[in-house]
Amino acid sequence: MMTDRWLSVDEVCEYLGVSRDTIYRWIRGRQMPARSVGRLWKFKKDEIDHWIRTGGNGSPAAHTATAGRTEA
C-alpha cells in the first residue's frame, strides 16, 4: 500500500471539501503547494495539511506552480 502518494486535483477537492475552481485559484495565486506534472497538478497530503494548519499561507519556495496553468 502506498501511503505517501501524490494526490490529484479531484482528491484534494474531496479532501478539503472545495471545488476544482477554488483549487485552481489557489494554485494560480501561488498560495497552495502544488507540482505540475505535465498537464496535471499533483499534491502531497502532508504539504496540504501543513498549508491548512498555517492558515493557507504557503511559502513561494514550497511549490512550483506556474501562474495561469490549469489541468485539462
User: What is the residue-level pLDDT of the chain in tens, covering all 72 positions?
Assistant: 556 789 999 999 999 999 999 999 999 987 899 999 999 999 999 999 999 998 875 444 444 444 444 444
Greatest Cα pair distance in the chain: 34
- pTM of the predicted model over 0.85: no
Q: How far apart are CA 68 and CA 27, in angstroms?
A: 8
Question: Can you say whether the dihedral through the CA atoms of 51, 58, 36, 40 is positive or negative?
Answer: positive
